[in-house]
Amino acid sequence: MEVAVTLLNHPRTRHRRLGVVAACAGLLAALLTAVPAAATPDPGDGPAAEHQVSQEARARAAEAIADGEIPGQDEIVHSDNIEHLTNIPKDVLPGINSDLAFQGRYAFAGNYDGFRIFDIADPRAPKTVAQVLCPGSQNDISVSGDLLFLSTDSSRSDSSCNSTTQPATEKSSWEGMKIFDISDKRNPKYVAAVETACGSHTHTLVPERRNVYVYVSSYSPNATYPDCQPPHDGISVIKVPRKAPERAAVVNFPVLFPGEGPDGGGNPGSPTNPGVSKTTGCHDITVLPEKDLAAGACMGDGILFSIEDPANPRVIDRVQDNVNFAFWHSATFNQKANKVVFTDELGGGGAATCNAEIGPNRGADGIYDIVGKGDKRKLVFRSYYKIPRHQAATENCVAHNGSLIPVKGKDLMVQAWYQGGVSVWDFTDSSNPKEIAYFERGPLSTTGLVVGGAWSAYYYNGHIYSNDIAKGFDVLKISDRRTDPAKRVRLDELNVQTQPDYFD
Mean model confidence pLDDT for the chain: 91
Place 49 in a pLDDT band, splitting at 50, 70 and 90: low
Instruction: Please check the confidence at residue 16 and state whether its pLDDT lies above 80.
Output: no
CA distance 420 to 438: 9
CA distance 85 to 341: 28
Query: What would the pLDDT profile of 212-236 be if each residue is shown by its tens digit?
Result: 999 999 999 999 999 999 999 999 9
pLDDT at position 64, please? 82
Q: What percent of the chain has pLDDT over 90?
A: 84
Overall average pLDDT of the 26-31 stretch: 35
Place 42 in a pLDDT band, splitting at 50, 70 and 90: low
Nearest to 307 by CA among 426, 206, 434: 206
Place 345 in a pLDDT band, splitting at 50, 70 and 90: very high
Place 325 in a pLDDT band, splitting at 50, 70 and 90: very high
Long-range contacts of 101-104 (CB under 8 A, 24+ apart): 101/141, 101/142, 101/143, 101/148, 101/494, 101/495, 101/496, 102/143, 102/458, 102/460, 102/461, 102/465, 102/491, 102/493, 102/494, 102/495, 103/143, 103/492, 103/493, 103/494, 104/492, 104/493
Query: What would the pLDDT profile of 402-459 be if each residue is shown by its tens digit?
Result: 999 999 999 999 999 999 999 999 999 999 999 999 999 999 999 999 999 999 999 9
Q: Residues for the chain: how many in total?
A: 504
pLDDT at position 34, please? 32
Query: What would the pLDDT profile of 87-124 be if each residue is shown by its tens digit?
Result: 999 999 999 999 999 999 999 999 999 999 999 999 99
Instruction: Please check the confidence at residue 1 and state whether its pLDDT lies above 70.
Output: no
- Please tell me whether the peptide bond between 443 and the residue prior to it is cis, using omega within 30 degrees of 0: no
Query: What would the pLDDT profile of 444-487 be if each residue is shown by its tens digit?
Result: 999 999 999 999 999 999 999 999 999 999 999 999 999 999 99
Instruction: Please check the confidence at residue 312 and state whether its pLDDT lies above 70.
Output: yes
Residue 402 CA, chain-centre distance (Å), reads 8
Which sign does the torsion angle of CA 288, 289, 290, 294 carry?
Answer: positive
pLDDT at position 244, please? 98
φ/ψ (deg, to 5) at 30: -70, -40
Query: Model-level pTM?
Result: 0.92
pLDDT at position 474, please? 98
pLDDT at position 140, please? 98
pLDDT at position 65, please? 83
pLDDT at position 264, please? 82
Weakest-pLDDT range from 131-140, 203-212, 254-263, 386-395: 254-263
Overall average pLDDT of the 342-349 stretch: 96
Nearest to 398 by CA among 469, 359, 346, 331: 346
